[in-house]
Structure 1
Amino acid sequence: MSPSITDLLKIGEEVTDAEEESFLLFTQDIPTGNLGFIDSRAATVDVSIRDNEYTIHQSPTLLSSSRAGGTTGAGNPVENHTPLRRLDLKSQNPLWTTSFLTQDSIVTELGCGISALIPLTISPSIQHYIATDQEYVRRYFRTNLDENANITKSKGKSKTSTGTKNKSKKQGSTKGASASASAVSNLTPNSNITFTTLDWELDQPALLKQCIQESENDEDKGFDLLLSCDCIYNDALITPLVSTCADICRLRPVYTSSGEAECQGLKPTVCIVAQQQRAPEVFETWLRETLREFRVWRISDEVLGDGLKGGTGYLVHLLLVREK
């Protein structure tokens, strides 16, 4: 077993029963509130993270629109990123202190939303960050990267993206190929942040890394870390979300009771799922579905800190995919 995984799993308590976990978490007193909104009517909001001040553009009009397919992630951008803002705390975060994450790490995020706050804060410390969401998110995501480019200087060894190549061959997946080359873009010059669309029901996660690789034949199609923040709020989204998370994590070796399988010296993909406490039945449904595909650890209050510990209204779990 890799020392970094062994140490990382001290992050909290393993969860084995969805009903018990839901009861434990939702019988706590939690704040009632506004889902983290700072000002859902403002065109821009200012966000302070550590010593940096970010100006984030948002779309109040789009948030209140009746757009087909929904507008999640397009309105107030700060509400769905609070749980993951501690990821850049290298001196305190076990992902860094165990050396699981390094400057060579590649991270991807599902349902990134428009704010770009997580890639802005993490990207200087890793090789590359791939943010995914629906196409309508792209414009504001790019605006927010450009607005705050002077704050975050990339240290990643990025490759310029020229688009995703079409492939007819299914790489071990029944999902359809990702869209056209227009779905992929490095969003600022020399940036190690890439945005691409990803449909959880139709697209192939195995194609994600083509955004940043010149060759389709690179042996490692996987990621060190997979992030999902506040994507769990609708029963209809649970199965495709969990399935996509599992597909992405299985691009790397699978962690087993005897340690992770060796495969070109690669570590398993760690998945971090953060969410705001909403409906207990939705959370329980997500966790029951997740436990079929993953081993799950609830991250401890000691690791999360005062802003995210139990009773704050936020939940953060670590997932390692099971063998099929």
Structure 2
Amino acid sequence: MEDLTNFLTSIGPEVEDADEESFFLFSQDIPSSNLGFVDSRAPTLDVTIHGQDYIVRQSPTLLSSSRAGGTTGAVLWKITPLIAEWLSTPTNNPLWTNSILNPSSTVLELGCGISSLLALTLAPSISHYVATDQEYVRRLLRENLDENARSFPSSSSPRTQPKGRQRRQKQQQQQPQPRNPTSNITFAALDWETDIPASLKQSLELSSSKATEDEAEADEEGEDQGFDVLLSCDCIYNEALVAPFVRTCADFCRLRPTYTPDHNQNRSKRKPTVCIVAQQQRMPDVFEAWLRETMHVFRVWRVADEVLGGKLGVGSGYLVHVLVLRGDGGC
């Protein structure tokens, strides 16, 4: 677990007290972002991340409906493109430089909403991305995935055309078939109150996917039902969501070993799940309730401003915290 220890050391100091953390963050001048929508009335939005253009189809009608269970996932929130840009930046990002994210990673997102931006920006660089939310987002999420997949440049397109029919045929035979850029993105409806995290991979038929060398050696531990990274972007906006959200995060993390700084004590080849929780600052009471509940079962780090690169962090109105399950599995 040396990579994980190096990662946690590099992102900033560990949060030790929920009251102090909340007081410090909410005593800063925070720009007004209203509720946090980009434009809740627009049927489509244009977003550019790392020079790649994306089209996000929204549902203003659904957002304003009285659907039971909430409708906030029907539109794009301001924090999402910022997090997508940061997560998909491999240079100087400790998630990548410490192999927390790498080509063999499996990533799970809680509360993905309709935009698909996190999935679209991360999926090309990892093994598999599972986006979860309530069932109502499925159709629009699929439309956004399909719409944006068509605009992705093909990495297998030949740069030059060979002269002569035989050379052309030979190169065509050697060229790999272009991969659908969204083929490793899966959506699953997930209810934080009723669904069982341990059954998610099995239900999606992902538990028997190709294993890395370390995972192959860990076969004696049984099938891996866990994930390398768990993402959440702006899912905590009222206190009623806090307990089921934290419980769901913890249940997924318990599918992997817990973090022990002395990695020699843990002989499992599987790495602990790392949780990345991004959120807009709104109500201090809700944030503090989330942090208190989280610190019962997780160790927590706030990602430092210099690591986030300027658009996120203290004073921006947007925060990123990293969680790892406590060594005793939480109480």
Range class of TM-score, shorter chain: 0.7 to 0.9
- In structure 1, the residue matched to 2:7 is 8
Q: Quick one: distance in 1 between partners of 2:154 and 2:109?
A: 18
Structure 1 equivalent of residue 144 of structure 2: 144
Partner of 2:229: 225
Q: Deviation of residue 137 (structure 1)?
A: 0.6
Separation in 1, partners of 2:80, 2:154? 20
**CA distance 1:190–1:304, change in 2 (3 Å):** closer
Is the aligned partner of 1:206 residue 2:210?
no
8 Å contact kept, 2:108–2:132: yes
Name the stretch that deviates more: 84-93 or 295-304.
Answer: 84-93
Letter in 2 for 1:140: L
* Matched AA of 2:138: R
- For residue 319 of structure 2, the aligned residue among 290, 315, 320 is 315
Residue 68 of structure 1, CA deviation: 1.2
Confirm whether residue 97 of structure 1 aligns to residue 90 of structure 2. no
C-alpha contact 1:83 1:229 (8 A) present in aligned 2: no
In structure 2, give the amino acid aligned to 1:213.
Answer: L
307-316 or 251-260, which moves further after superposition? Answer: 251-260
Superposition pairs of residues 148-227 of structure 1, within 5 angstroms: 148-152=148-152, 191-210=183-202, 211-213=204-206, 215=208, 219-227=223-231
Give the % identical residues: 61
Q: Please say if 1:283 is aligned against 2:276.
A: no
Letter of the 1:269 counterpart: T
Q: Distance in 2 between matches of 1:312 and 1:275?
A: 11
| Per-residue Cα deviation, 1:175-233 (whole angstroms, up to 9, x for no partner) | xxxxxxxxxxxxx7971000001110100001121214265995211111000110111
Cα displacement string for residues 58-91 of structure 1 (whole angstroms, at most 9, x for unaligned residues): 00001111111110211x2143514422100001
Gaps of 5+ in 1: 156-187
Q: Give the distance between the partners of 1:147 and 1:212, measured in 2 at CA.
A: 25
The answer to whether residue 243 in structure 2 is matched with residue 239 in structure 1 is yes
Structure-2 residue corresponding to 1:24:
24
For normalisation by structure 1, the TM-score amounts to: 0.85
Contact 1:109 1:226 in 2 (8 A): yes
> In the alignment, is residue 44 of structure 1 matched against residue 44 of structure 2?
yes
Q: With the length of structure 2 as denominator, give the TM-score of the two structures.
A: 0.83
Work out the CA distance in 2 between the residues paired with 1:272 and 1:253: 17
After TM superposition, the structure 1 stretch with the greater mean CA deviation from structure 2, 38-47 or 130-139, is: 38-47
Query: Is this contact kept in 2: 1:260–1:268, CA < 8 A?
Result: no
Q: Distance in 2 between matches of 1:189 and 1:98?
A: 25
RMSD over aligned Cα atoms:
2.0
In 1, the alpha carbon distance for the partners of 2:35 and 2:152 equals: 27
Note the C-alpha offset of 1:3. Answer: 2.3
Query: Offset at 1:152?
Result: 4.2
Q: Which amino acid is 2:258 matched to? A: V
Aligned residues: 290
Unpaired runs of 5+ residues, structure 2, are 156-179, 210-218
Partners in 2 of 1:269 and 1:228 — Cα distance?
13
Q: Residues 103, 26 of structure 1: CA spacing in aligned structure 2 closer, same or farther, 3 A cutoff?
A: same
| Partners of 1:124 and 1:38 in 2: CA distance | 25
Residues 134, 236 of structure 1: alpha-carbon distance in 2 compared, 3 angstrom cutoff: same
Q: Shift in Å at residue 151 of structure 1?
A: 3.8
Deviation at 1:258?
Answer: 2.8
| Superposition deviation, residue 150 in structure 1 | 2.5
Deviation (angstroms), 1:34: 2.7
Report which of the two structures shows the higher radius of gyration computed on alpha carbons.
2
Contact 2:145 2:182 in 1 (8 A): no
Structure number with higher helix proportion: 2
DSSP-derived class of the 2:13 partner = strand
- Whichever structure has more strand as a proportion of its residues is 1
Give the CA deviation at 1:104. Answer: 0.7
Distance 1:257 1:53, change over 3 A: same
For the residue of structure 2 that corresponds to 1:254, the secondary structure is coil
Q: Distance in 2 between matches of 1:154 and 1:275?
A: 33
For the residue of structure 1 that corresponds to 2:130, the secondary structure is strand
| Distance in 1 of aligned mates of 2:40 and 2:182 | 32
The aligned runs of 1:66-145 (5 Å cut-off) are: 66-74=66-74, 76-85=75-84, 86-145=86-145
Is the alpha carbon distance of 1:319 and 1:29 closer, same or farther for their aligned partners in structure 2, counting shifts above 3 Å?
same
Q: Distance in 2 between matches of 1:119 and 1:56?
A: 13
Could you tell me which residue of structure 2 aligns to residue 182 of structure 1?
Answer: none
